Amino acid sequence: MSTAAATNRRFLSLSFFLLICYAAWAAGGSSRYPNVAAWYNHLHKPDWTPSHELFASIWMSFYGTMAIAAWLVWERLHGGAFPALKLFSYQLGLNVLWFILFFALRSPDAAAAEIVVLWLLSAATAIAFFKIHRLAGILLIPYCAGITFATVLNLSISQNN
């Protein structure tokens, strides 16, 4: 394969992972926006709840690093990365489901139960990625920290409402 073709292939595969991750972010976010003002703002939240703007910008960067991490794993092993990428796709799907449970269905309790599973799958994904490509695993650490924070916040909201 020529250098230009290899570069194009790598660019396309990175674009694919970015598209998938940001599509998941958009899918989750679409269930959020119609319900924020009408419902979320009236929930009893802890004082340390970040603003919507801060949360959105941080999570936007998490989805980008998730995409790069998945791409690095794919680039390292291609088809051999399937089990790790399967974990990745499961946790990404659960990420979208959390938004639906919490915001669209207005169920902090169901979302709290689901996010614990999401946290476990995210940690398993980071470990699997780390074994394949060290940087890919490291790139998922901020995301796992974000899921940890979101889990504690969700449990607090669930308990107070």
CATH of the domain at 58: 1.20.1260.100
What pLDDT score does 79 carry? 63
Q: Which domain holds residue 19?
A: 3-160
**What is residue 39's predicted lDDT score, i.e. its pLDDT?**
83
**DSSP secondary structure string, the chain?**
--HHHHHHHHHHHHHHHHHHHHHHHHHHHHHHHHHHTTTGGGS---TTPPPHHHHHHHHHHHHHHHHHHHHHHHHHHGGGGHHHHHHHHHHHHHHHHHHIIIIIS--HHHHHHHHHHHHHHHHHHHHHHHHH-HHHHHHTHHHHHHHHHHHHHHHHHHHH-
pLDDT of residue 6: 65
Q: What pLDDT score was predicted for residue 29? A: 78
pTM: 0.89
- 76-121 pLDDT, tens digit each: 887 667 889 999 999 999 999 999 999 888 999 999 999 999 999 9
Domain count, the chain: 1
Q: How high is the pLDDT of residue 5? A: 63
List, for residues 13-43, the tens digit of each pLDDT value.
899 999 999 999 998 877 766 667 678 889 9
